[in-house]
Amino acid sequence: MNKTWLAIGAIVVLGLIVWGVSSMGGKSADTSTGPIKVGVIVPLTGDAAVYGEPGRNITQLAVDEINAAGGINGREMELIVEDGKCNGQDAASATQKLVNVDKVQVIIGAFCSGESLAAVPVAASGKVAMISPGSSSPKLTDVSPYFVRNYPSDATQGSVLANIAYTDKGYKKIAFIQEQTDYAAGVYTAFSNVFSGLGGTVTNEAFPTETSDFRSIISKVKGQNPDAVFIDTQTPAVTGRILAQMEQLGWKPKLFVSDILPGDTKTVEAHKAILEGTLAAEVGVDPSNPKFAALLVAYKAKYGVELPFQSYAQTEYDSVYLVRDAILAVGNDGTKVAAWLHTVKDWQGAAGSVTIGTNGDPVAGHRPEVIMAGKPVPYVK
């Protein structure tokens, strides 16, 4: 009796393994004639939805333009948008769904670094290409042949700011207040490596994402008397909470913020007094670029509001066109699209000239900015 059950059990387990393996690996390239499905993973709930919603709108806008111009070789492009909730767990299950249920060959995203880090292995095992327009953690550099990004690594954000802090400003001691996410940790590591290399010291107070009471962290940092404080959070809402509590405690230190903040006009405007003179490094936009200018007009016309988070908007917009060009060149096949994306050189988009290196990172960087009267302006020494 026992042996019979064991045998049945073994068959069931074996069957599951075979089914699992076949459903993961056995996909063939898309040869049908219906719309070409492309996956999108952005955060649509939580504090990070402030990026995800415009992200979804912009990718949809680009797809509508492409379809209006005849699609890809006569086939329409269709987006399947999933909510990655800015965390690895939800992004991984969103990727599972896109790869195994929707059978997409290309995924645009994910947006948050934590999402991408978890999604890449899932996409790679399903031989699906990913292009992220927003994930900037240095850990994503050369992470997989199936992953590229057209948004630069935070390694440059960290080094640009560390050099300004040490060389231009003469700061010797910087205190980080860092949210415990992959993106924020990446900014901290990049900054800290360069700044300590120059001879400065960096302290770090990390906190879990759901923290809302920062008073004791702020009081402690204040007591350490740093030359400047680097507020390094995943979302503008959290930076806003920290700024509000600094204001309550009547402390106005010299500040650095990560590149999530300058694009959030609402938070910057609300805290412009304490943010005056704050340094940040963003990818930056070029309004004289006709493609970017056209995106500004098209977004306003379609959604009725100014284009938010413009540094991300340009890469999100470009990522759709990069995917179109890849599919035009090599067909809707994850492996081939991923290989093509690794060879992009001097491609012209809303973000200007795009070149992607063999490590999957764009050859471009962050430009320093300073917040003046509630607006980010280019930094001059």
Partner 1 sequence: MDVLIQIILNSVIAGSIYALAAMGFNLIYGVSRSFNLAHGVFASVAVYAVFFLAVQHAILLPIAIALGIFVAVFLGYVLERSIFRPLRAKRASNLVLLIASLGASIVVEALIAIFFSSQFQTLSSVVPSFGAVRIFGGVLTGVQVVMIVSAPLVLALFWLMLSHTRFGKAVRAVSDDEEVAKIVGINTNAIIGVVFMIGAGVMGVAGILTGFDTGLDPRMGFLLLLGAAIASIIGGTGNVYGAFLGAFILGFAENFGVFFVSGEWKYAIAFSVLILFLLFRPQGILGKK
Residues 25-64 that bind partner 1 (CB under 8 A): 45-47, 49-50
User: Taking CB under 8 A as the rule, does residue 355 contact partner 1?
Assistant: no
User: Taking CB under 8 A as the rule, does residue 345 contact partner 1?
Assistant: no
User: Taking CB under 8 A as the rule, does residue 330 contact partner 1?
Assistant: no
3-state secondary structure of 70: coil
To partner 1, the closest distance from the beta carbon of 273 in angstroms equals 14
- Determine contact, residues 347/325, Cβ cutoff 8 Å: yes
- Determine contact, residues 124/118, Cβ cutoff 8 Å: no
To partner 1, the closest distance from the beta carbon of 173 in angstroms equals 16
Candidates 103-111, 127-135, 218-226, 347-355; binding stretch for partner 1 (CB under 8 A):
218-226
To partner 1, the closest distance from the beta carbon of 269 in angstroms equals 13
Distances (CA, A) of 54 to 42, 57, 326: 10, 5, 24
Whichever of 2 and 225 has its CB closer to partner 1, that residue is 225
To partner 1, the closest distance from the beta carbon of 369 in angstroms equals 24
To partner 1, the closest distance from the beta carbon of 35 in angstroms equals 30
Regarding beta strands 77-83 and 106-108, do their DSSP bridges make them parallel or antiparallel, or are they unpaired? Answer: unpaired
Candidates 143-151, 186-194, 241-249, 286-294; binding stretch for partner 1 (CB under 8 A):
241-249
- Residue 24 corresponds to which tokens in the numbers above? 């993961």
Whichever of 214 and 321 has its CB closer to partner 1, that residue is 214
Site string for partner 1, 246-285 (x = CB under 8 A): --xxx-----------------------------------
* 325 phi and psi angles, rounded to 5 deg: -65, -35
- Determine contact, residues 82/107, Cβ cutoff 8 Å: no
Q: How would you write 108-155 as a 3-class SS string?
A: ECCCCHHHHHHHHHHHHHCCCEEEECCCCCHHHCCCCCCEEECCCCHH
Kindly provide the b/e burial profile for residues 310-321, where b requires at least 16 CB atoms within 10 angstroms of the residue's own CB: bbbbbbbbbbbb
- Residue 326 corresponds to which tokens in the numbers above? 């890849």
Whichever of 191 and 321 has its CB closer to partner 1, that residue is 191
Whichever of 141 and 265 has its CB closer to partner 1, that residue is 265
User: Taking CB under 8 A as the rule, does residue 211 contact partner 1?
Assistant: yes
To partner 1, the closest distance from the beta carbon of 251 in angstroms equals 9
Residue (of 231, 246, 219, 236) closest to 278 by Cα position: 231
Judged by CB under 8 A, the residue of 89, 167, 180, 358 near partner 1 is 180
C-alpha 182/C-alpha 247 separation (Å) is: 28
Q: Using the Cα atoms of residue 289, residue 291, residue 297 and residue 299 in order, give the sign of their dihedral.
A: negative
3-state secondary structure of 179: strand
Judged by CB under 8 A, the residue of 122, 238, 275, 327 near partner 1 is 238
To partner 1, the closest distance from the beta carbon of 44 in angstroms equals 10
Judged by CB under 8 A, the residue of 163, 245, 265, 335 near partner 1 is 245
Judged by CB under 8 A, the residue of 146, 147, 151, 207 near partner 1 is 207
To partner 1, the closest distance from the beta carbon of 241 in angstroms equals 6
Whichever of 24 and 206 has its CB closer to partner 1, that residue is 206
Q: How many other β-carbons are positioned within 10 Å of the β-carbon of residue 26?
A: 7
Residue (of 200, 193, 271) closest to 231 by Cα position: 271
User: Taking CB under 8 A as the rule, does residue 74 contact partner 1?
Assistant: no
To partner 1, the closest distance from the beta carbon of 216 in angstroms equals 4
Judged by CB under 8 A, the residue of 1, 210, 304, 380 near partner 1 is 210
Whichever of 228 and 244 has its CB closer to partner 1, that residue is 244
C-alpha 334/C-alpha 99 separation (Å) is: 10
Strands (DSSP E) found in the chain = 36-42, 77-83, 106-108, 129-132, 147-149, 173-179, 201-207, 228-232, 255-257, 279-282, 347-349, 352-354, 367-372, 375-378
Whichever of 50 and 120 has its CB closer to partner 1, that residue is 50
Site residues for partner 1 per CB under 8 A:
45-47, 49-50, 177, 180, 205-208, 210-217, 219-220, 222-223, 237-238, 240-241, 244-245, 248-250
